[in-house]
Copies of this chain bind each other. A is one copy, B any other.
Amino acid sequence: MAGNSREPGQTVASRLLAVLAAFDERHRTLTLTDIADRSGLARPTAHRIIGELVEWGALFRTESGAYVVGRRLWKLGLLAPDQSGLREIASPFLQDIYGATLATVHLAIRDGDRVLYLDRVSGHRSVPVVSRIGSRLPLHATGVGKVLLAFAPPDVQERVLGNLTRVTARTVTHRGHLEDEMRRVHRDGFAQTVEEMSLGACSVAVPVRHLDGSVAAAIGIVVPNLHRDRARLIAALAVAAQGIGRNLPEQT
């Protein structure tokens, strides 16, 4: 979206939003020139808007003169109910699982055709993982992603199953195999991965359901291997998922 044209949009509001959109996970610190380039705005326009955003606290100017997202935007983002509400309800349940296993625990939702990580609990004795809070990863290569894919609308499933990218040598990229897995998620109530996102990391995951049975999120746990502990981990996740689901507000 960024950098396609000069002075995009008809409104000042859209220019301001274009400046904000210049920032993403791989572009966390930007100079004025970067922002102008990525937003498609002329430098004087970008400069003026940046000034207003810095004054308000949406951006922060570092000592080197570059810009980063500011504290006020962080606080504003925390008010997002999908994210913070669900995260806050789930947090003590995730911590309980972490406290019992010391393994990495995830809370995730579907964001379009990707899995979006809302929370990650991880200590120094946990397996290193790729995900960070706010990361968007392929649905078909992670445990929580497979759960969310199994319960996604048909058009999402169709798009994802039609484009199964390889992440590691063990990622499932055969459509028929993944369709079998989706059926097993519905039958058994959990998904698993074996080194499909990162070598050395396996996972199991279960759905978190609203009172009406619809799937609100997925929680999963990442461990070095599943041999001995799988049943115990799934049981712990199922208990936590029930607890979280019971505490979710009714859908409005």
Contact = CB atoms under 8 A, between A and B. Distances in A.
A69 interface: yes
A64 B95 contact: no
Range, interface on chain A: 35 or more
A252 B13 CA distance: 32
A134 B96 CA distance: 22
A42 interface: no
A12 interface: yes
Interface stretch (A77-85, A142-150, A209-217): A77-85
A78 B74 contact: yes
B63 A70 contact: no
Interface stretch (A20-28, A32-40, A198-206, A220-228): A20-28
Contacts of A252: 62-64
26 contacts: A11-B12, A11-B52, A12-B16, A14-B56, A17-B52, A20-B76, A23-B76, A60-B80, A60-B82, A69-B76, A70-B80, A71-B111, A73-B76, A73-B77, A73-B80, A74-B77, A75-B77, A75-B134, A77-B77, A84-B133, A88-B132, A95-B121, A99-B99, A99-B102, A99-B123, A99-B125
Given A77-B77, A92-B123, 14 more contacts: A13-B13, A16-B16, A23-B76, A25-B79, A68-B79, A69-B80, A71-B83, A74-B134, A75-B77, A78-B133, A84-B133, A92-B122, A95-B124, A121-B121
Interface of A: 11-14, 16-17, 20-21, 23-25, 28-29, 49, 52-53, 56, 58, 60, 62-64, 68-71, 73-84, 88, 91-93, 95-96, 98-99, 102, 111, 116, 120-126, 132-134, 252
